[in-house]
Amino acid sequence: MICGHKYWETGSRVIAKGMSSSPLGVPGIFRRRFLTQPSAAAGLLALSATALTETARGASGPGSGGKGASLAKPLPNLLDSPERVTLSALPKGATPEQAISAIRRVAEAATDFSWLSRGDVVFIKPASNSPHQYPATTSPLAVLAIARLLREKGAGRVIVGDKPGVEWVHQDKSRQRGSSRAILSKNGLHQAALESGAEVHYFDEAGYDAYFADRTEHESHWRGELWFPSILREVDHLVVLPRVSRHTLAGTSFGLKTAVGWLRDDSRLELHRDARSFWEKAVEINDALVLRQKFRLVLSLAIKVQTTFGPDRGYTVEPDPGLVFGSESLLAHDMVALGWLLWNREQWTPAEHLVWYRDPYRAYPGALNRAFVGYIWGFKELLASETYNSLPSRSVRTDPQLSHAASLKGGVPQLELEDVSEMLPEGIRNYLVEKATS
């Protein structure tokens, strides 16, 4: 059962087994697999030297130069228009029933569901990048609560699906390695979907050709069309259920970053290989016409937060209180998510877990990304890959993903917080607002 121990408690404030203390900071399982391929191993050795060189000459900050260096950009303007995020505080140790109740309350306050007509088909997109359980992936409780709520509101079909990261499930025209069904069964999301009465749909099971090409509404950094699963043409609405996590390559992983899971693996290759615009392209996936037309709601259960490394493993904090928050705006939701991640890094994460080899985004994400390209797609793509430097995520306006998303909207909206629990401490509220505007 989802409300039982197996899918609910994954341990708090402990660093997961398998974390690496190697110079590259690569998880042990990644390192072992990478080194079994001779060409990729040679690339890893070369990239190790590159990473150390870049770190030594200051590549961990903006403006350090070098191929693919990410330079600081003008900060986006602050807008007068507000965007609302509904949230609820939950005491540490809240029961599954309390969490489900808070999720439902936040969802019903975040949207009036006027977009949902009886018989409509709704697709729920979780963050299921790996077999590791919440908060490395979306909480099964969030899937359970939202799927049931949608069915109660009149949805004819509710579908839960995804395709995990390419290191776990990789598919091209001729072969496939790994299984989305197996991954979501391990992290508990498959069982949550079925228990809620929803269907499951895994993009890899439909086949490599079960994708269609779509473009972004605005000019983007993508070379051309993006490839999305055909199931998107069959559904009426999209609901996104991320989690709050650090990310070794991207810095952070919230609602916007979850969109990578929609892409076929050739589009994912472009994202990682052509990495000078890595953050921009990740954000711009959400500007694809099909996603813009069908997105309705984003909600995070954030009673646990993965504050270092990520996305598959890291230091887990269980704060008191925890939060549930949702919005009809991906950007506004992620503004709160960033503030919540920063709060838990500052208040609850010991300093020894924030050092560069346990939190490698701070040092050389571009070198790690190139090693990742070589491991997944081979030495030829590694040689063609670009690098980039770490940019700070001190606030919404400095975070490379959120600042780009704000620029696409013309600026950073005013954050309007609605606390339906009336239990949010004033200090946390002020901190979230400050990080959204500074």
How far, in Å, CA of 156 to CA of 63, rounded? 52
Distance CA 243, CA 245 (A): 6
What are 189-239's pLDDT values in tens digits? 999 999 999 999 999 999 999 999 999 999 999 999 999 999 999 999 999
pLDDT in tens, 368-413: 999 999 999 999 999 999 999 999 899 999 999 999 999 999 999 9
Asked if residue 128 lies in contact with residue 137, where contact means CB atoms within 8 angstroms, the answer is yes
Contact 35, 44 (CB under 8 A): yes
Asked if 358 and 309 touch (Cβ cutoff 8 Å), the reply is yes
Q: Distance between CA atoms of 371 and 373, rounded to whole angstroms?
A: 5
101 within 8 A of 149, measured Cβ to Cβ? no
Token output for 229: 């699963």
Whole-model pTM? 0.88
Omega before 321 within 30 of 0, i.e. cis: yes
For each of the domains in the chain, give its residue range(s) and CATH number, in order of start: 70-358+395-437 (3.40.50.11440)
Radius of gyration of the chain (CA): 20
Q: Say which residues have a Cβ less than 8 Å from residue 370's Cβ, sequence separation at least 6.
A: 43, 47, 50, 275, 382, 385, 386, 387
The per-residue pLDDT for range 254-309, each reduced to its tens digit, is 999 999 999 999 999 999 999 999 999 999 999 999 999 999 999 999 999 999 99
Is residue 358 pLDDT above 60, yes or no? yes
> 3-class secondary structure for 233-266?
HHCCEEEEECCCEEECCCEEECCCHHHHHHCCHH
Rounded to the nearest 5 degrees, what angle is found at the Cα of 109, between the Cα atoms of 105 and 113? 105
pLDDT in tens, 305-349: 999 999 999 999 999 999 999 999 999 999 999 999 999 999 999
Number of Cβ within 10 Å of residue 380's Cβ equals: 11
Amino acid 73: pLDDT: 74
Give the separation between CA 395 and CA 435, rounded to whole angstroms.
5
Which secondary structure element, helix H or strand E, spans residue 124, and what is its range? strand 121-126
| Structure letter (DSSP) for residue 210 | S
**φ, ψ at 164 (rounded to 5°):** -65, 180
Q: Measured in whole angstroms, how far is the alpha carbon of residue 250 from the centre of its chain?
A: 9
Provide the token pair at 31.
């390192």
Give CA angle at 358 (354, 359), nearest 5°: 65
Beta bridge partners of residue 213, listed in sequence order: 227
What lies within 8 Å, CB to CB, of 262 at 6+ separation is 125, 228, 229, 232, 285, 291
Shortest CA distance to 364 belongs to which of 61, 100, 1?
61
